[in-house]
Structures are given as C-alpha cells and as structure tokens.
Chain A
C-alpha cells in the first residue's frame, strides 16, 4: 500500500481508493477493493521470489490425438509462434471455431521448453469446463485449478488454470499467459483485472487473448500495434456464421402488456417448429419471462417449452432436458449467452436493443446457432423496438468475420 496525496494505492490490485474509505486506526490503511482475496494493508509487506521454473518435463507432453482442420492448423501455428516469441497477440476466432484445441500445440511446445503457463478466464464456469479438457490433453504435466470457491490448497504447478481474479496473487510468475473469453464480464470493465494480467506475466513474458468479440479496448491496442491479431473467421466445420437478421417491432413491450406478441415473432417461431428445428428465445429481463410465457403457451399450444433464468433452482436440469430433446424450445435470459451448445438450433432475441445486451453478448447469442456439423447453418432473428448502436455493431462484427471467411472459402 502506498499513500499518494488523498488516495491510497494498492500494490496488489493497482487500484486507488479515497484515504477516508481505506483508513484503519493509527494511521494505517487497507485496500477495500481486493479484500475478497485476503486483506492487503500497510501492516503487511510483500515478498516475492523470482520465478525459478523448477519443472521436470515428462514426455510425451501432449496426450491429445485429435485432428485440426487445415484452417485451424494455420491459426494453431500462429499461436505456437506467438507463444515461442512471447508475443502479445489476439486470436479473434468466431464462436464455435474450436479455440481450445488450437492452443494445444502451442501450450505443448511451451511446456517442453520448461515454461510456466497460465490459462485464465473471467468466468469460473469457463475455467471449470476448460480444466478437465486440459488435464486430458496434458496428462503428464502438473496442473492446478484456482478460483474463488476452490477448496484444495494451492500448489506450485507448471500449468495454472484460474479465473482472472486469481491472477492478482501472482507477480511476474508466468512466461506465457492465455486469457480465454477476454471480452466477457467482469474483465472488460475492470481495471484491476487488466492490471492483474500485466503483473502476473514476467517482464519478458507473452500474453495471448482469445475472443470471439473483441471489445473497444482490445481493438484500440490492435490499432496502436501493441497487439498482433490473427483471425479465424470460419467454424470448425468450415461454414460461415449465421447472419443476424433484424425485424423492427416498435412498441412490442406495450403489445405484450396488452396480451399480444409481435405477429412476425409468432410466425417465425411457428415456421421453425414446423421445419422441425428447436430454438432458444432470449428476453432482456427475468421479469419478461413471466409475462411472455403465458402468451407463448396460448400462441403455440401444442409445443413443450420452459423458461430458465440465472436464479432458477432447476436451471441445470432444465438445460439438460433441453439437451436431451425433451423441450421444443427454451425461453431464457442472457445466462445462456455463452458456453452452452445445443445442436441444430435457431436463435431469436426479442428486445435485442435493450441495454442488458452488449454487442459482444449479442454476437455470442447469435453464435449459439449452427454449431453442429449436421446443421452448420441456422436462422438468427433479432426483434428490436428501435435501431441502436449495440445491435448494429453486433451485426457488423458478424458480417466482418463472414467477409473474411468467404475470402478463405474461395
């Protein structure tokens, strides 16, 4: 902790606080910002040892025997070279491109060089999903999984999988840091986490950002030339992203309150169902689920569906039931934005111009469609009350990647 005039600067999370909020008695200070990781105060001193890289490498490092498509192969080579040169790079790959598998060769070579690596993500569920896949791919490497609810004690490991918050505990420790889904909440809006990711890597270390929807901060760094960027505009099955199509539905909210859904929405839902496709319908707020569910039951009486939201106690069973094909569709909020894959579905959003949907969230939502080889396309419709920048930017991002993808397909 350091005192700069009226503000107290935390040496761990890099954030500043007004001294009146941070004061302890007797002229001491603590950091209220990062107290969830254990308190840092002027009563404490930080010690750190230079990272010794004490690892013995057991062959074979890579115990994964999957095949990459030629396009993935190209991206994997770029990743590999970037990691070898400790470069700061961004891999912009569309949703469902197979990002994790593309990192494997790069990680394996880095581990063979005896480097210490971390794979981090802002979301704990992404970490939980990633960890077993990495364990399976690198069976001979010592690994550790760190997150806020982890009960196992910390141990020194060559490969660390953690949430980005946990990076605050490391100082110049990693030769290479990989951050997955870097655009997602809370990383995008949190200076402490950006600071953490810079502190955690060695001064000559590299950083690889993976995302399907780079936000304005990352794009600014790309334009300034601080980040090298590589694209993967096609999905693992070689198809383009489904285009986002917009439908204007001015005043849909008032209509819903009077008891009728937009006609175009009902028609579109019926068409999907008669074609035999299942779908996800996204709504902006949990409260909307309650108003729209009875209207849908009236409009589509012989179809089986349910609603899911974040605080739903049966969330996991409902998602599993959808996966098993027990429901024709799910009505949900942003919780299904990433990480969930249902084959052969269509995606619809009612009220996509609501501020709860950021443009990256919209791209992610649109990316739920067309993820399987059996149906690599899908329909994506957004109903909006009025045009807005977030929706337009989402549409533009998808079109941009598709333009790049089309050039590759030729």
Chain B
C-alpha cells in the first residue's frame, strides 16, 4: 500500500496479536507525515453546539446566536479542524473528484457513527447536477457501507455551491432541501452527516426539516469543522 496523499510507501508492521488473532489487518491509508498535518478535535474540548475546538464545553458565541435565531441549537461533533491540510484534502476529494481518497477518513467516521448509536443516519444530499459531474456524493463515500436513509433531497436540480459564497451570503441561503418521506424519522434518534461544518447554515436547514418531522432526538456529525 502507498500513502493516498503523497504516494510514499507504507511499511506493513504486523504485531504478534495480528498474527494470532486472525483478524482482518488494519487498512493503512496515510503515512505518518501526512497524518500529522491533520488536527483531530477532542469532543471534551469542543463546543457542544457546533463541535468547534475551544477550552471548555460552554456554548460558543455562534451557537448562542443560532439558539436566539431558531430557539434551539444543534448538537454537532466534528472529527478534524478545517486546516490547510484538510482544505487541500477536500479539494482533491470533492472538487478534483479523486474518489479513492474517501478511504482516508472512512474508518474513523464510521467508528464515530457507530459510537453515536443513531436509529437513522441521514447524509446531506448533493444536487443532481453535482451527481452528474462529480459522479458521487462525498458524504456517502465517507460513510462507506454504513446503512443510510435518503430522507432529504434537493429541491432544485442545481444551485450555487456554498463554497463559492461569502459568509453573509451563505447565512442568507434559503432552504434548499425537502423531505422525501417524513415517516422514516418520526420518533427516531437521527444522525445528520455532512463533510464540512462552516457556518452551520446547511445543517440547520436540514435539521429544521427533520425536527419538523417529529424525530425523537437529533445529533449531527461532520468530518471537518
């Protein structure tokens, strides 16, 4: 195996336990040097609303603003900070379309999804146009074999990507989603999954619809924050 990001050879180091236990070998995806460029977020030192890394576990100013605006706030977790390495990774994975790179964080994201023990996992969808050009939904790629419920879909065939807007424009985006089948989430513990949490607008729109469908509980997760 080679490192998916820098193509350096990865050494396979077998431990005695690997040999004795006859378990599947851990799939190596990154070399240590590339791995060190990403910064993991410890949920014990993050805002409980949006998952932003900070000193304590008090609600951050942005989440307080959401609380005032909507009357409730998300309880979101993120695995990594959105630093330069993550930006570069997202560029290569999403925009250049290198679908192999989903394997870099797939295992970690799946593990966190299992930890969060939701009844229904709802990925944020992509538009039909994106699907036709990119050929994949980046969130589904990261989730891998996790079983998901396609509860949401885009209202329009295409829209201007959030990443092309300024913060102000992003926050003013109208509701882009609609519910496919509200019964799928009624009375359930729902986990919403996206790739990046930037302003929170997208996830709040999605959460709004799912809360409207009377779910029991709603948590959300993203790869980067």
Contact = CB atoms under 8 A, between A and B. Distances in A.
A35 B136 CA distance: 16
A30 B132 contact: no
Interface residues of A, number: 13
In this complex, the member of B132, B133, B135, B141 whose beta carbon has the largest number of chain A beta carbons within 10 angstroms is B135
A26 B98 CA distance: 16
B135 A30 contact: yes
B99 interface: yes
Given A26-B135, A30-B135, A39 B100 contact: no
B96 A25 contact: no
A204 interface: no
A203 to B, nearest CB: 32
A39 B136 contact: no
A28 interface: yes
B97 interface: yes
Nearest to A41: B135
Nearest to A24: B135
A35 B99 CA distance: 10
B140 A39 contact: no
Contact of A35 (B98, B137, B140, B141): B98
Interface in A27-57: 28, 30, 32, 35, 38-39, 41, 43
Interface string A8-36: 00000000000001011110101010010
A32 B135 contact: no
Contacts of B97: 30, 35, 39, 41
B135 A28 contact: yes
Contacts of B100: 21, 32
A32 B135 CA distance: 14
A24 B96 contact: no
Interface string B128-163: 000011011100110000000000000000000000
Interface in A311-330: none
B99 A30 contact: yes
A56 B141 CA distance: 51
Interface residues of B, number: 12
Contacts of A32: 98, 100
B133 A25 contact: no
B9 to A, nearest CB: 15
Nearest to A39: B97
A149 to B, nearest CB: 15
A38 B98 CA distance: 10
B99 A24 contact: yes
A43 B133 contact: yes
Contacts of B132: 43
B140 A25 contact: yes
Contacts of B96: 35, 38-39
Nearest to A35: B98
Contacts of B99: 23-24, 30
A30 B137 CA distance: 15
Contacts of B141: 25
A162 to B, nearest CB: 21
Contacts of A28: 135
Contacts of A41: 97, 135
Contacts of A23: 99
Contacts of B140: 25
A25 B98 contact: no
A333 to B, nearest CB: 18
Interface in B99-150: 99-100, 132-133, 135-137, 140-141
* Residue with the highest number of chain B CB atoms closer than 10 Å, among A21, A23, A41: A41
A26 B97 CA distance: 15
Contacts of A43: 132-133, 135
Contacts of A30: 97, 99, 135
A25 B98 CA distance: 12
Contacts of A21: 100
A30 B92 CA distance: 14
A156 B135 CA distance: 31
Nearest to B140: A25
Interface in B44-74: none
A324 to B, nearest CB: 36
Nearest to B92: A35
A375 to B, nearest CB: 42
A344 B136 CA distance: 60
A24 B98 CA distance: 9
Contacts of B137: 25
Nearest to B141: A25
Interface in B25-54: none
A25 B132 CA distance: 11
A41 B134 CA distance: 9
A24 B101 CA distance: 12
A35 to B, nearest CB: 5
Nearest to A21: B100
A23 B141 CA distance: 11
A65 to B, nearest CB: 46
Q: Quick one: which of A23, A32, A38, A39 has the most chain B CB within 10 A?
A: A39
Given A21-B100, A24-B136, 14 more contacts: A24-B99, A24-B135, A25-B135, A25-B140, A25-B141, A28-B135, A30-B97, A30-B99, A32-B98, A32-B100, A35-B96, A35-B98, A38-B96, A39-B98
Interface of A: 21, 23-26, 28, 30, 32, 35, 38-39, 41, 43
Interface of B: 96-100, 132-133, 135-137, 140-141
17 contacts: A23-B99, A24-B99, A24-B135, A24-B136, A25-B136, A25-B137, A25-B140, A25-B141, A30-B135, A32-B98, A35-B97, A38-B96, A39-B96, A39-B97, A41-B135, A43-B133, A43-B135
Q: What are the nearest 10 A-B pairs in CB distance?
A: A24-B135, A39-B97, A25-B136, A28-B135, A35-B98, A43-B135, A24-B136, A24-B99, A32-B100, A41-B135
